[in-house]
Amino acid sequence: MKLAQFVKFREEKFGGVLFETRSEKVFTLSPTGAAVVREIEAGGGEDELIARLKARFDDKDGTMEKDAREFIASLKAQGLVAD
């Protein structure tokens, strides 16, 4: 999984920003969303990415995993992430 060809990521104090350069759309990200995008940039499949996030954050009840998978699905639906 990786960011789509025309998508750029920049970390900010509040979290991060995704730029879709063809349509010039800007998406602001929370610190958690920015952490997910950083893991996407690190490479690997979705399950590998989720495993790294679970190791990094305390996800005892599985809420983070559910939220991260939903966020990734949203990024894919908007064409911001490619497999």
- Interval 31-64: pLDDT, tens: 989 999 999 999 989 999 999 998 888 888 888 8
For the cut 90, the answer to whether the pLDDT of residue 10 exceeds it is: yes
Instruction: Give the residue carrying structure tokens 């690997």.
Output: 44
Output the pLDDT for position 62: 84
Instruction: Give the residue carrying structure tokens 């992430």.
Output: 81
Continuous H helices in the chain:
31-42, 46-56, 63-77
DSSP state, 15? E
What distance in Å separates the CA atoms of residue 82 and residue 63, rounded to the nearest whole number? 24
- Token pair recorded at residue 64: 């983070």
- Token pair recorded at residue 5: 């060809």
For the cut 90, the answer to whether the pLDDT of residue 74 exceeds it is: yes
